Amino acid sequence: MESMPIVVVDWNRCSGKGTCVEICPVSVFELQELMEHPETLKAVPIKMDECSLCMKCVPVCVEQAITVKNDSAI
């Protein structure tokens, strides 16, 4: 069975700058307004299944809000 990337954004840390949206080569993220965090837009991994595990989003997130794992258990 093929493994699937797991992309998690800690919305308590995410400031909504969108650097992850800009750098992701496969457009995993989208900035969205969330009811539980109405103060600012948050990065939401809307295309997690397309993640190529390039990890470009992790170091550009100055808030360290993004975690990417390769979950072979799925």
Q: What is the DSSP string of the chain?
A: ---EEEEEE-TTT-----HHHHH-TT--EEEEEETTEEEEEEEEETTGGG-----THHHH-TT--EEEEEETT-
Q: 4-71 architecture in CATH? A: 2-Layer Sandwich (3.30)
Q: Would the pTM count as exceeding 0.75?
A: yes
Enumerate the domain spans of the chain.
Answer: 4-71
Q: What is the pLDDT of residue 74?
A: 43
Q: What is the pLDDT of residues 13-60, one digit of tens each?
A: 999 999 999 999 999 999 999 999 999 999 999 999 999 999 999 999
Confidence at residue 72, expressed as pLDDT on a 0 to 100 scale: 65
